[in-house]
Chains A and B, each alone.
Chain A
Amino acid sequence: MSAPARTARTRPATTGSRQRRRAGSTPADVVLLLIGAGFLLPLLWLILASLDAEAGHELRIPAEAGADNFAAVLTPELLFRPLWNSVVLSGGTAVVTLVAAVLAAYPLSRYQSRFNRPFMYTVLFGTCLPITAIMVPVYGLFVQFELLDSMPATIFFMATTTLPMAIWMTKNFMDGVPASLEEAAWVDGATRMAALRTIVLPLMRQGLGVVFIFVFIQAWGNFFVPFVLLLSEARQPAAVSIFSFFGQHGAVAYGQLAAFSILYSLPVLVLYVIVARGADGSFALSGAVRG
């Protein structure tokens, strides 16, 4: 087939496939909806049970839908203190991670050195270690140094587990801010760290927001680390308190369990939507300076 003939025949085919894509194909819709239903069913139980005062394992429309379960778990001991602990733990983890990641990313992004690549790949290797496997040795380490049940120590450990990913993300965002913008500040006699604070960080604040939320979501949902390292009830975050209240599979108030689960999940669902919406904008950042 000659080249011109191919071009001539490509054009109608292109419009044809575009039209098909716009209209959508029915078999694909049906299969997709069936798979989607499979994914929805376990979630549906969570929602229906939370509104059902007599909820069990089964999926059913509540005989009398009401917010009784939510009212029942809205108490200081049951909900507010664990949630506050979650805020402290996740917020602390995100702050420590972000500070360490920004400081580490700056030289890696701005100076050329033959150590940069090996360092970055070693850090990447760190993201691959199964954290679950490290929990037994970490417990041992915490016993040795009498750090068990310590909020700050737990925060530092959780920050370390998310740090490798955060360094990679932060460096990528920082690479997007051209060094030429800092040069003017250096000429005016600003130190590197002052330039970082006043010029680089404000320009990458959206990227920093993404990293912060990313770490916060991970820490908020983490069950195993605080389950092993935080012993006293007063310090346990919601992930652990929900398990100690409801995890024994005995006579469980399933409606309250579902209501608690929803209240505990809401913050991360909201944060995820923010990141998913804002992600495009922050990646387009470098374009603003180039023009």
Chain B
Amino acid sequence: MQLPATARQLFRYLPVLPAVLLLLVFLAGPVLWAFHASLTNAGLTGRSARNPLWVGLDNYGRLLADPVFPLSLFLTVVFVGGSAVLGQNLLGLALAVLMRRARPVVSTVVGTTVVAAWVLPEIVAAFAAYAFFSGDGTLNQLLGSLGLGRPDWLYAFPMVAVTLANVWRGTAFSMLVYRAALNDVPAEVTEAAQMDGAHGWQRLAFITLPMIRGSITTNLMLITLQTLAVFTLVWVMTAGGPANASTTLPVLAYQEAFKFGDIGYGTAVASVLILIGAVFGLVYVRLLRERNP
């Protein structure tokens, strides 16, 4: 009698099958294949494309010896730290706090503008950011009219340009998360603190921020993961250049695999990126599980 019951339960879960198959074939498959291919000398074309040889940990050894890899790891940390953890996170929080104090018309107009940069297709946002930061672009027109000089951002400070561009592009997400979180803070709590003589900054630091701690960690996790994967913005604005000065890990993986045709080496870079993402992903899922037991 045990078997039919189990069989019936399995049968009930049959509709999950298409989703599971898709996830196994197109998500779990490539991830496993990445780890496998990173141990071979698979190439884009030629003999090594059809019959890749097993090379063990050679690709990872090359990664450690290649000066570009530590550089791109460092640039990725700078990019994620600067544009997501600091830029999008703090600016998003500031916008959400300000929007509660400002006139409704002002917060609606500014909120719509911030969201527009986020809803635009990424290639369009990338073109707009490219024009904005280019030598005779809008930013330099502004700086020039203030007498502050006109540096060529994309060549002289490519990381500053792509970091600022990603703040512009992605802040809307943090803003929306924090707007929702602040709306859930009961008004009585802040009002009681106000009664006890707490000033605006004190209320924010000691009452409001601790109360939305959960949203802050969730948001930090999600924007870190999103920014870790940014490719199009960097590719269109600087293509990783000049001389690898803005080559983040996704750009490096793409270049190695598709420009230099070294799939094995490219997947080794990709595998490192997958591992970093997996660590953040596990922490994120952990956090959510603890919060909804």
Task: Please report A residues at the B interface, Cβ cutoff 8 Å.
Answer: 6, 9-10, 13-14, 17, 21, 23-25, 28-29, 31-33, 35-36, 38-46, 49, 56-59, 96, 99-101, 103-104, 106-108, 111, 113, 115, 119, 121, 123-141, 143, 156-157, 159-161, 163-164, 167, 192-193, 217, 220-224, 228, 239, 242-243, 246-247, 249, 254, 257-258, 261, 264-265, 268-269, 272
Contact = CB atoms under 8 A, between A and B. Distances in A.
- Summarize B's interface: helix, strand, loop or mixed: helix
Contacts of B29: 141
A140 B16 contact: no
Given A13-B195, A164-B23, A111 B116 contact: no
B11 to A, nearest CB: 10
Interface in B1-56: 9, 12-13, 15-20, 22-23, 25-27, 29-31, 33-34, 37, 42, 49
A217 to B, nearest CB: 7
Contacts of B120: 43, 221, 265, 268-269
Contacts of B18: 99-100, 103-104
B102 interface: yes
Contacts of A41: 132, 138-139, 142
Contact of B19 (A29, A103, A247): A103
A143 B129 contact: no
A286 to B, nearest CB: 19
Nearest to A38: B168
B27 A124 contact: no
B110 A137 contact: no
Contacts of B64: none
Interface residues of B, number: 99
- Summarize A's interface: helix, strand, loop or mixed: helix
Interface string B177-189: 0000000000100
B106 A33 contact: yes
Given A99-B18, A130-B225, A136-B267, A243 B113 contact: no
Given A129-B278, A140-B33, A32 B116 contact: no
A131 B229 CA distance: 7
Interface stretch (B65-73, B207-215, B283-291): B283-291
Contact of A133 (B25, B191, B263, B274): B274
B30 A137 contact: yes
Contacts of B95: 32, 35
A32 B123 contact: no
Choose among A49, A132, A137 the residue with the greatest number of B CB atoms under 10 Å from its CB.
Answer: A137
Contact of A129 (B27, B117, B230): B27
Contact of B102 (A29, A115, A156, A265): A29
A276 B13 CA distance: 33
Nearest to B20: A104
